[in-house]
Chain A
Amino acid sequence: MRGPRAAAALAVIFLGLGGTAAAQDELSLSIGAGAFVPAGDLNRRVYGSGVVWAAELWLKFKGPFGLVAGLSGLNDAGTAAPLFDGDHEDYPVDLSRRTIPLALFYQLEIGGVSVRAGAGLAIHSFRETWRTEDFDYKGSGVGPRFLLAARVRLPARLSLMCSMAYDAVRAGSDSPNARPVELGGFQICGGLGFRIY
């Protein structure tokens, strides 16, 4: 957990530095929720799609570039995958994941819509537990993040936000399964934005 905390601190400092820079143009906060579709076969088989929430700070500089940082979470429930087909028992399992993204974006104005495309890193911490067995595994990992977002301005500093992000992260080589698994996937969120200044 040391990595995510350090990254969070780094993100805050990074945005703070950005905020003091003379080149700053706009700072906004977005809050949204949506769906997460895992990229890994095992993840899809055990948990399937899940509900994700996200809160992000968007700092736009003068010119087309900006920085985005935030926090997103995923709480998912599933069933351990049986090795063989046919009748089997159900072993319910839970997965929680917290992600801190940090990315550089490019903003394009098309009509009244601001389109943002970016790339950066995401730091993930996760925990998986079995409800009926004494199995509990915690871990963390870092991977690339790619994002695409659109914003439509509304009155009174508000805006409608829609974003799509793809994370790739393999983690868990020190787990009891002794094999890294793909934890990333596609995340689609919709929500509201609030322009701070």
Chain B
Amino acid sequence: MKSVKGIALAALLGAAVFALPLRGPVSLIKIPKPASPAEAWLQKLHVDVRQELETCYLALAEREDMDRLRRAEVRFSVLRRSQARDEVLIVGVDGPAALAALRDAGRAVVVEPGTAVFWTEAGSAAEAVPAGLPRKALPSRSIVPFAGRGLKPAPAPLSLAPDPLVETIVSLVSGSGLAARVQALQDFQTRYASTSNCEAAGQALFDAFSALGLDDVRFQGFPFSVYTSRNVIAEKRGETYPDHVFIICGHYDSTSPAPLNQTLAPGADDNASGTAAVLEAARVLAAFPLDFTVRFIAFSAEEWGLFGSRAYAAAARQANERILGVINLDMIAYADALPEDLQIIVNSRSGWLADLFLAAAANYGTLGATKTVNASFVYSDHSPFWDNGYPALLAIEDDPLNNPYYHQTSDTLDKLDLGFFTAAARASVGLLAELAQPVREGHPRTPVGLRGRFTSYTSLFNSLQAMQLTWTAQADAAGYNVYRSETTRAGYVRINDAPVAAPSFTDDDLGLDPVYYYVVTAVGPTGLESNRSVEIFPFVIYIDGTVRAPGWPFSFWRRLF
């Protein structure tokens, strides 16, 4: 028996040694962005890119990776040699004083104006960052699979016709209700993640969502530093597309200068305001059946480095969830000057979402809104969605922030502008309702099962490209309309002359650059038209951001010759 045990032990040891990663030391490097978008070469060179900023990428690289980059004549600089795979934060530094404070707390290297990477030789980097500085932990996974991907936005400014049903929904948003919710959150004294008050606030949010009669309310626990906390996730399931999800979210934790953050961090603007708007959106939309699923999420530990949203977005990607868009509300109630406008911040691949927000703001209220494309604004809960390839926007009152009570014990309800706050919440609910599509009584159901197949027909000397669309037939439809657009979610043009009777349509008027987005609607016997189906875009989005029809004509020739 001894010899058998010995052999087994040796085998186990051998397997363990074999399983050890034979990897060299890893460095944190910065790769400046080229003049033209070219994420393709990052993938070709197998660079482990962890963060996209406006002017550069941050990546982890072993010695051989760096040799490969040098051979490819890719410029880069080493920010930290022998980077242990531990905590590195990206920190916003808006001036020399902030940078000096950060350098007093640990090691900091400026990577572009206003942005530094930060780590400590010992202890928690998240806890060492001076209060008041926005921060985000370096993502734990490569973002390369999602780099460069995006949908083509409509030419701005986008003008959409107001929808009377959405106007009704938006009118239900209550300013006094928003104020009451902010007060309730402020009354917890502090919601600093790691305190029991924060957990109690999370429980209160859970109870508030539960009282609305939504389809599901749950906690999502996650670890951060040496603590744990919980996101609160409520869901109103879509009647037509339960697996297609839009998210409205905000973080409910707060902060103030240590050690006061343990006892007093009212966080009325940051971010009881966003959380209250999420709750109000849930209250208003709870009564309306929707085509698409909507999730209302209150994240925790945002102030520590977006830990709650990081856990959520990573899990969503792991489960390959179809998150179609994210509206992140963070500080939407303080007006430093009137009339205040809301900043809508997106990365280049979420631009269409900002355009729709601006259109909704114009349609459903008096709110002024400004779109800013800035991949370096990573200090709120939209950023982990970007890292996982989901389109997301941040709605925030100012960029740069101009709230003197920001991260202070004086960030209380009395400092907020309720008119601006209500307008911001209404625009957000308006956009969410437009996206999720309220089901309309008396209208046919929204078509489902839309599929597109790009195909090519060829004779000896000519070829025709065509998009074959099919969808599920439904009994309440007398016919169907087919729409297409050159941009996503706007600018649709009907391409059938009269409603088509069968649930299929071939679009063979594609021209030479067949890149279209398609939706279909059902037309009832009385002529009433349904909501639009989910949008499909049967073409390939390449890693460098270009879009092309899949593989034609080469796959054809490979097949026949």
Contacts and interface: CB of A to CB of B under 8 A. Distances in A.
Contact of A83 (B456, B508, B561): B456
Interface in B503-556: 506, 508, 552-553, 555-556
Contacts, number: 85
Most B-side CB within 10 Å, residue of A87, A135, A137, A179: A179
Given A41-B560, A41-B561, A89-B506, A81 B459 contact: yes
A176 interface: yes
Contacts of B555: 83
A128 B464 contact: no
B448 interface: no
A80 interface: yes
A133 B511 CA distance: 13
Interface stretch (A10-18, A42-50, A59-67): A42-50
B561 to A, nearest CB: 7
Contacts of B459: 46, 78, 80-81, 91, 93, 95, 128, 130, 135
Contact of B457 (A82, A128, A175, A181): A82
B458 A135 contact: no
A46 B466 CA distance: 18
A2 interface: no
Contacts of A89: 457, 466, 468, 506, 508
A137 B557 CA distance: 19
Contact of A128 (B455, B462, B508, B553): B462
A84 interface: yes
A78 B459 CA distance: 9
Given A83-B552, A83-B555, A89-B468, A177 B560 contact: no
By secondary structure, the B interface counts as mixed
Contacts of A91: 457, 459, 464
A139 interface: yes
A45 B559 CA distance: 12
Nearest to A78: B459
Contacts of B466: 89
A130 B455 contact: no
A172 interface: yes
Contacts of B462: 80, 128, 130, 133, 135, 137, 175-177
A86 B455 CA distance: 11
Contacts of A161: none
Given A82-B455, A83-B455, A89-B508, A128 B461 contact: yes
A79 to B, nearest CB: 8
A33 interface: no
Interface residues on A, range: 20 to 34
Contacts of B508: 89, 133
B15 interface: no
A177 B463 contact: yes
Nearest to B556: A83
A175 to B, nearest CB: 4
Interface string A142-177: 000000000000000000000000000000100111
A91 B468 CA distance: 14
A139 B460 CA distance: 12
A183 interface: yes
Nearest to B456: A83
Nearest to A45: B560
B63 interface: no
Contacts of B455: 82-84, 88
A181 B460 contact: yes
A46 B464 CA distance: 14
Contacts of B322: none
B463 A176 contact: yes
Which are the 4 A-B pairs with shortest beta-carbon distances?
A: A175-B461, A80-B457, A137-B461, A135-B462
Given A82-B456, A88-B455, A176-B461, 20 more contacts: A45-B560, A80-B458, A80-B459, A80-B462, A81-B458, A81-B560, A83-B552, A86-B453, A87-B468, A89-B468, A91-B464, A93-B459, A133-B462, A133-B464, A133-B508, A139-B461, A175-B460, A177-B462, A181-B460, A183-B460
